[in-house]
Amino acid sequence: MFDEIRFNTILRLPNYVFAEINEIKLKARRAGDDIIDFSMGNPDSKTPEHIIEKLIEAAKKDKNHGYSASQGIYKLRLAICNWYKRKYGVTLDPDNEAVVALGSKEGFVHLVHAIINPGDVAVVPDPAYPIHTQAFIIAGGNVHKIGLDFNEEFELDEELFFERLQKAFRDSVPRPKYVVVNFPHNPTTVTVEKSFYERLVKMAYKERFYIISDIAYADLTFDGYKTPSIFEVEGAKDVAVESFTLSKSYSMAGWRVGFMCGNPKLISALKKIKSWFDYGMYTPIQVGATVALDGPQECVEEIIGVYEKRRNVLIDSFANAGWEIRKPKSTMFIWAKLPECAQHLGSMEFSKQLLTKAKVAVSPGNGFGEHGEGYVRIALIENENRIRQAARNIKKYLQELKKK
């Protein structure tokens, strides 16, 4: 019916790249297979008790059940600014430089929606967390991708990054207006130092672009690495916004709480569009989130500890299984090069075979962009016993593969 009515926005979106893997996973589960699932960045542990308690207390109050404030209640915006002060020594204004989002993904999508004119170009590193590219496509913009390279320690190759970024500004017509950065990076776990932001901010002033920085994994760091914030750089607020989420640090993914801070012009654009799209997050959730940010932070250390232990167990047990992988120093992921005997298969076929032959689900690297080919992303969302079981299954599978 009505073939002339076409949904152009939807037509511009690619099919969900992980759909094929999900389909196989679903079928296997229905057939009774126990799939060890490392495919999604969905934290499996419970939200800390004191945060849940606060949510319940707030939910019992009569006044907390109406529409809330779409930009977030003042106390939560204040807690966000205190978080920045505590963690980075950065001062932010809760009224003009901070906005609460229904998850940082929502904040990102709506910010992009608010600021993109048709045909505007954004530079996004490849591979990427998919919404970092698709948000621009949904909003009618275009993306100029630049390959993301890194060293053995998963540290960004800064020289190459800036070379490619400069080239993007030379080549792209129209000139890019936005640059997206996400360090620690999903899916590659790549990290940067403050010097990277110093260079980026300087370039933003010179080339006249805004920076959208996503530090969703800022807390999930190991071996002494500390994530910098772009706002540690003098003058960054003039050219940048940065987002963070409670999903990972506090295991609150289902609560949908994130925030975006920084440049008042961009923050005000996000606030304005949100005031049209939503009525704000359920107030008791915001009260719980305030306590998460303002309350005791030992729970964050515990959550980091869980991922760190899993990372170590996975690296060791997979090495025993014949799959040597380098250790990341951040995020809840492992960005694993395909084992040598599987490199001819490519990321997608290897992921399919892991699923059907070893009962282990991972995300094929090329699903995050063409520079992800040759890798898979393993999310640390299964416990240590399950990780060891996965290693045993993989060992058998790799032995079979080598015989072929």
Ligand X SMILES: Cc1ncc(COP(=O)(O)O)c(C=O)c1O
DSSP symbols for 37-68: E--S----SPPPHHHHHHHHHHHTSGGGGS--
Q: Which is nearer to ligand X, 88 or 255 (CB)?
A: 255
Burial (Cβ within 10 Å: 0-12, 13-18, ≥19) of residue 376: buried
> Out of 39, 71, 104, 366, which residue is the one contacting ligand X (CB under 6 A)?
104
Q: How far apart are CA 273 and CA 114, in angstroms?
A: 6
Side chain identity at residue 251, one-letter code: S
Binding mask 200-219 for ligand X (x = CB under 6 A): --------------x-x---
Number of residues in contact with ligand X under rule CB under 6 A: 13
* 41 is an interface residue for ligand X by CB under 6 A: yes
The CB-of-105 to ligand X minimum distance in angstroms stands at: 3
Sign (positive or negative) of CA dihedral 307, 44, 243, 148: positive
Residue 210 CA to residue 309 CA, distance in Å, equals 38
Q: How far apart are CA 363 and CA 369, in angstroms?
A: 12
Instruction: Determine if 253 is a binding residue for ligand X (CB under 6 A).
Output: yes
Instruction: Report if residue 43 touches ligand X, rule: CB under 6 A.
Output: no
Q: Minimum CB separation from ligand X for residue 42, in Å?
A: 8
Alpha helices in 178-320 (DSSP H): 194-207, 246-249, 264-277, 283-294, 298-320
Q: Mark residues 112-131: x for contact with ligand X by CB under 6 A, - for none.
A: -----------------x--
Contact in structure between 196 and 156 (CB atoms under 8 Å):
yes
Binding characters for ligand X, 173-202, by CB under 6 A (x = yes): ---------x---x----------------
Candidate list 43, 72, 94, 103; residue touching ligand X; CB under 6 A = 103
Give the residue from 296, 247, 299, 291 showing the smallest Cα distance to 56.
291
The residue among 249 and 317 lying less far from ligand X, judged by its C-beta, is: 249
Kindly indicate which of the ranges 15-23, 98-106, 232-240, 362-370 contains the residues binding ligand X, using the contact rule CB under 6 A. 98-106
Q: Binding ligand X by CB under 6 A: which of 25, 54, 77, 105?
A: 105
| Chain residues that interact with ligand X, rule: CB under 6 A | 41, 103-105, 129, 182, 186, 214, 216, 245, 247, 253, 258
